[in-house]
Structure 1
Amino acid sequence: MERIIVLGVSSGVGKSSFARRLAEQLAIPVYHLDTYFWKPGWVESSHEEFSENQKNLVDQQCWIIEGNYSTTYDIRRKRADTIIYLERPLAVCLYRVVKRRIMYHGKNRPDMASGCPEKLDRGFFTFIISTYRARKVKMRKRLAQFIEESPQNSVFFLRNQQDIDEFLKEKATTSISDF
């Protein structure tokens, strides 16, 4: 467990918070894809720039890369040895997105690019609701494919706070040589 992808069913599922905690425990650098995709003022990076940044990240020995970004998933997948997938109920994700908006009102989150203060609009909220079910199906297929391609890879499916806490307590504190 040296090259880890943290994925989630939706925004608000807790990918960034989980990845930060995992990075602290494993002493592995964490990279939040939002900081590479977004430029100040919520301007999107070009696909080429975003891809190139990720190619540089995955060339490192150890890393945790957090974020879904399906269009560049293969860049991360090819070098990863572990995927940790968070799937919490839609209501939890929506609650957490609203809570995050309130907590970071007018400020940047630590996992977001500079110059992108927290925001929440109807379009984003609708996106979360309208894509939730389809993403569950897509992500589960992605996890199965990851193992099929390389059976030595690991996938961890965390469905609730108890799963997350137990993983961080048990799996993340086990030395890498024990896997």
Structure 2
Amino acid sequence: MVISEQFGADIYQIVELANKNYPRGGPKKPGFAAGPCLFKDGFFLTSKIPFPELIAAAWKINETIPSYLVERVKSFTPIKGKKIAVLGLSFKSDSDDTRESLSFKLIKTLKRERAKVFVHDTYVKNDESLESVVKDADVLIIAAAHKEYSQKGYEYFRKLAKKDCVVADVWNIFGKSSIVYKMQ
């Protein structure tokens, strides 16, 4: 995701082409890879391979994704004092499991930048409705690919958020060719 954007390439198109006619699954789409097994399984794997530094490097890169997203959003709009809607706290879609979720690191980074952060997760109890979180948002970040968000669709969010809202959609639930973009 990070490398493809530096070259102006569409990561989603790259993954689709890599998977074309491949019978066993192939590369997965990028997103917030997290959860308790990611670190644990990587640690066990490093004891069995001759190049453990590769696993450690991948883990370090993954941990920087929240900061990378914030910087990408800031390249579109300043975020200090802006309303940021973060959709999803769980580390995987359609789940209430928040263990080791990168959403918390993302929220912490946004608050450190003095953004006004509002959070919704379909599966994690909170008091905010989806509509109230997204209404008049300056920035919309899709942090978990919950079906509710993709089923609502781009138009639902476009109508609620501010006209020039910046979207960071690491899961590509809206089918755009970029991870970070302005709503049209």
TM over 0.5: no
Instruction: Answer 1 or 2: which has greater helix percent.
Output: 1
Q: Which one has the largest radius of gyration?
A: 2
TM-score normalised by length of structure 1: 0.32
Higher RCO, 1 or 2 (CA under 8 Å, sep at least 6)?
1
